[in-house]
Amino acid sequence: MSEASAPGIVRCDACPVMCNIRPGTAGACDRYANDGGMLVRVDPLVLLERTVAQGGTVVPFGDSVEWDGRMVCGAETFVTAIGAGTTYPDYKPAPFIVSTMVEGVDMVTVVTEGIFSYCGVKVKIDTDRHLGPERALVLAQGEPVGHVTTAEYGSQMLSLGGVGHLTGGGKKEGRVTCETLLDLSNGKAVELTIETGASVIVQAGRAPVVNGVAEDRMRVGCGSATIGIFARQWVGKIDEVVVVDDHITGVLSEHQAGKMLDIPPTGIRMRGRRSTPGRYFQVAHPGTGWGGTDISDPLSILEPFDPKHARAGMRMLMVSTTGEHSAYYELDEALRPIAHPLPEVLVQSVERIAENCEPALCSVVFVGGAGGSLRAGVTDNPVRLTRAVSEGITRLTCGGAPVYLWPGGGITFMVDVTRLPENAFGYVPTPALVAPIEFTMPLTQFAAMGGHMDHVRPAASLVLDGTPRHVKANAENPWPWAPLEPRARE
């Protein structure tokens, strides 16, 4: 007797793995289980309740409570795809196609959990410190899971996942990549190592931890911008200011801001490559020291002062773009900078730089391509769904959260993972991530695109297996039932 035909065994067809599940146990994904010979979804279906801020009435429960026995209450409730189940093996309509009357219009939401092999996360890490060179591999548990991309203003960007790492490498690489994406998408902390670079702990909405040290703030701007912002506050208090930055180091006396404020030349001479007046590139190598450079002694970026303009007693402040590092010097008779305690008159300006730095955070954005079979759960003519989403006739949400749609072909979307209910993402060991996805549109449009009309069920008539979980919707998110604003096709 084969395992699949053994007494009590249930064959799960929710993903390509096709687990044979024994009674009382769950499949490889921990999402489906065998309950007395019945295939059941382990996680509860999540229902969003509209908050007062979104135009709803007060709901008599907290952020997440057990079901109180009510049916789905029309436009006050939104059925998310979290815990809904999938359409695999793809010929089936979506698990839930729910109709609701919203402001006099019959609306429908198609609810399904998509199996995403073509997915990843983009990570924004607020830090001035150098994490690693562009294109360097990012490793998790010793396996490559992505790479370093461009540095943006005060932040380093990572691109993790994608089908190449999920399915194009070794078995362990795929498994670790899937695990890393799942944890990051569900708001958990993940330790990453950049090849030839730093170790960083990343968690959505939390400060990054770089080489064991928690980051406190992101820079106010580059060295040049810092000069421009605070130049007026230094007039009459200091002769020279150098804002050390791995990208653009600023020098007050040479900078246009200094010129406009009549700051005289000081004879300072910088290492690195001069860009425009008062702006220098490559004064040092990237690192985790002053201003994202590899230096611990700021004087190492200076050449001897020019005696034509320098004079004994001249005062100089050197500071980083976050105010984390600062030092004060006065030139001696040999025109050498000698360190002195920071004068009280300059303490406020250094503190002002720090005050203008925003808290350092990690941002995690899930990116998925909702193409192929997933659309067949909505309509028998999938291209019509793609066009309806592109034109704004159909709203795409992810666990009830708003998404950004990439222009161009297909349905490629991004969503901030902190705007979804907790534990919204799952996985299947193919490996692939499972993400909630909902398509909302007028019922007439659903019919016009060839939607599965025979599977439409009024929300109030839903009979749900198990106990659904009611969650108060994120007040920052627009309510998914809000009126749609169609866009003209190009």
pLDDT at site 141 = 97
pLDDT at site 150 = 92
Tokens of 480: 């998914």
pLDDT at site 72 = 55
* pLDDT tens-digit series, residues 329-384: 999 999 999 999 999 999 999 999 999 999 999 999 999 998 777 899 999 999 99
Torsion of CA 290, 323, 235, 313, to 10 degrees: -50
Collapsing DSSP to helix, strand or coil, 99 comes out as strand
Alpha-carbon span 375 to 443, nearest angstrom: 17
Collapsing DSSP to helix, strand or coil, 281 comes out as strand
Give the residue-averaged pLDDT of 83-103: 87
Residue 132 phi/psi, 5-degree rounding, is 165, 160
Give the residue-averaged pLDDT of 1-20: 72
* pLDDT tens-digit series, residues 140-181: 999 999 999 998 888 999 999 999 999 999 999 999 999 999
- Tallying the residues shown for the chain, one arrives at 490
> Using the 8-state DSSP alphabet, how is residue 49 labeled?
E
Give the residue-averaged pLDDT of 192-215: 96
Give the residue-averaged pLDDT of 63-84: 67
Residue 204 pLDDT level (bands cut at 50, 70, 90): very high
pLDDT at site 153 = 87
As to burial, measured by CB atoms within 10 angstroms (0-12 exposed, 13-18 middle, 19+ buried), residue 344 is: exposed
Whether residue 125 contacts residue 202, with contact meaning beta carbons closer than 8 Å, is answered with yes
Give the residue-averaged pLDDT of 81-96: 85
Is pLDDT of 439 > 80?
A: yes
pLDDT at site 65 = 42
pLDDT at site 13 = 77
pLDDT at site 469 = 81
pLDDT at site 372 = 72
pLDDT at site 269 = 98
Q: Which residue has the tokens 């402001």?
A: 103
pLDDT at site 73 = 57
Candidate from 9-18, 268-277, 316-325, 342-351 with smallest mean pLDDT = 9-18
Q: Which of 309, 327, 331, 308 is nearest to 319 (CA)?
A: 327
Q: Which of 325, 397, 309 is nearest to 111 (CA)?
A: 397
Q: Which of 118, 68, 124 is nearest to 433 (CA)?
A: 118
Collapsing DSSP to helix, strand or coil, 26 comes out as strand
Which residues pair with residue 152 across a beta bridge?
155
* pLDDT tens-digit series, residues 110-121: 999 999 999 999
Other CB atoms within 10 A of residue 45 CB = 24
pLDDT at site 53 = 57
Is pLDDT of 317 > 90?
A: yes
* Mean pLDDT, rounded, of the chain: 90
User: Which conformational region is residue 142 in: left (phi greater than 0), alpha (psi within -120 to 50 degrees), or beta?
Assistant: left
Please list, in sequence order, all residues whose beta carbon lies within 8 angstroms of the beta carbon of residue 244, skipping any fewer than 6 positions away: 223, 283, 290, 291, 293, 295, 298, 301, 318, 319, 320, 321, 325
Kindly list the domain boundaries of the chain, sorted by start residue. Answer: 3-41, 223-355
CA-to-CA dists, residue 336 to 206, 267, 329, angstroms: 43, 12, 9
pLDDT at site 26 = 85
Residue 488 pLDDT level (bands cut at 50, 70, 90): low
Q: Which of 477, 443, 458 is nearest to 50 (CA)?
A: 477
Tokens of 450: 């060839």
Collapsing DSSP to helix, strand or coil, 40 comes out as strand
* pLDDT tens-digit series, residues 42-55: 778 888 888 655 56
Give the residue-averaged pLDDT of 251-265: 97
CA-to-CA dists, residue 28 to 19, 20, 71, angstroms: 7, 10, 32
Is pLDDT of 61 > 50?
A: no
386-424 burial, b at 16+ Cβ within 10 Å, e below that, comes to: bebbbebbbbbbbbbbbbebeeeebbbbebbbbbbbeeb
CA-to-CA dists, residue 422 to 86, 262, 381, angstroms: 19, 56, 33
Is pLDDT of 17 > 70?
A: yes
Give the residue-averaged pLDDT of 185-191: 98
Residue 209 pLDDT level (bands cut at 50, 70, 90): very high
As a whole-number percent, the residues of the chain with pLDDT over 70 amount to 92
Give the residue-averaged pLDDT of 405-425: 95
Whether residue 404 contacts residue 415, with contact meaning beta carbons closer than 8 Å, is answered with yes
Is pLDDT of 425 > 60?
A: yes
DSSP H or E stretch at residue 97: strand 96-102
Q: Which of 474, 483, 460 is nearest to 79 (CA)?
A: 460
